[in-house]
Structure 1
């Protein structure tokens, strides 16, 4: 990756990516591209691979980062419907009734996002 003046890494710009593709298509090695452009040889290889395989030199942004969601939209709707049908039910009862493999706190998070009232058990029955 190219570096800023202060030494921090930065993403290669579009003209730099075009220069890498041009040099590589003319038969230059990755090391010579690194010397000429300042882009590391592994980054140059990644740019070239993306160009040859995907026919694109712009990196694709991921739609979402982090952990995959536990529930899909249908499961969320089922949980909301259950909470509407049984407004006095606790989270443990809703999760048990729904049959979803989630923790009651996870169900509480989803229900709060939907602006639903959430009931916790204060003490064991």
Structure 2
């Protein structure tokens, strides 16, 4: 049986969201301080001002959310470049992003 393309797209989106959630959870759990899943759960639902809970809520979780937002922003920028140029292989060099960044680096150094 051949599945319709919208079914495959739905499966792909589901797998992508699942990978995003698992990698965000891994980003919060893994680090220099030993933290497990129950510590993360307790930090959000039974906060007790311990060092682990403060590390989770003030450092690791915001860092994971910011990383996900930056990745989504870069993905949207790439899609916009591809849509505006109607070129599936569009790169930042087409719009002069690399040249503008180099100019600002030289200007800042000077």
Work out whether the TM-score is over 0.5. Answer: no
TM (norm. structure 2) is: 0.26
Q: Looking at CA atoms only, which structure, 1 or 2, has the larger radius of gyration? A: 1
Relative to its length, the structure with more helix (as a share) is: 2
TM (norm. structure 1) is: 0.24
